[in-house]
Amino acid sequence: MASSILRIAARGSTSTFFRANTVARSQPLAARAGLLVPSLLAANSFSTTTRMRSEHQEETFEEFTARYEKEFEGVNDVFELQRNLNNAFAYDLVPSPTVLVAALKAARRVNDFPTAVRIFEGIKAKVENKGQYQQYLDELKPLREELGITLKEDLYPDADRELVN
């Protein structure tokens, strides 16, 4: 209560805050505090905080997939590719293989091998278990071989063992 009075007092103009209120002075301090707040709220009917409203509707997985396939097809440079990957992996889901195919083709189009390898690291981090990761690897194996993308596990086979020891 006291912090809200101070916040309102800090926002209000000095003439409103120090205005004489003869009705309030005749009452005890606790009653005056109750009268002070409504009079300040009426004088200052604005808010300094913004409401967090989402103008976007909930998106289905199919709509998400179609949107990101389209985004990756329009990628023209490394910045766009990495920005779209960050956005796609920020959701609480693993992108579908078709989105990942579009992302891998975009990485090849902009000639960015490290990002292509990192896509598989992102998949590994997002899935719940090794079985799901293996399913993604099996699904994307033909494209991976066609584009010449090696996995981090293949590039640095001892890296996982060093982390365990």
Each residue's pLDDT tens digit, 13-61: 555 555 555 555 555 555 555 554 554 445 555 555 555 555 657 889 9
Asked if 80 and 52 count as a contact pair (C-beta separation under 8 A), the reply is no
Q: 0.75 exceeded by the pTM?
A: no
Spatial CA neighbour of 102 closest among 121, 116, 86: 116
Q: Which residues contact 100 (CB under 8 A, 6 or more apart)?
A: 119, 123, 136, 140
Give me the sign of the Cα torsion angle 132, 137, 138, 140. positive
Kindly state whether residues 127 and 66 are assigned to the same domain.
yes
Kindly state whether residues 109 and 74 are assigned to the same domain.
yes
Q: Domain containing 82: what range?
A: 61-164
**Chain center to CA of 129:** 23
Is residue 76 situated within a structural domain? yes
Write the pLDDT tens digit of every residue in 55-92: 657 889 999 999 999 999 999 999 999 999 999 999 98
Is residue 49 situated within a structural domain? no
How many independent structural domains does the chain possess?
2
Kindly state whether residues 77 and 31 are assigned to the same domain.
no
CA distances from 165 to 125, 127, 151, 155, 162 (A): 20, 24, 22, 19, 5
Enter the DSSP assignment of 112: -
Kindly state whether residues 18 and 89 are assigned to the same domain.
no
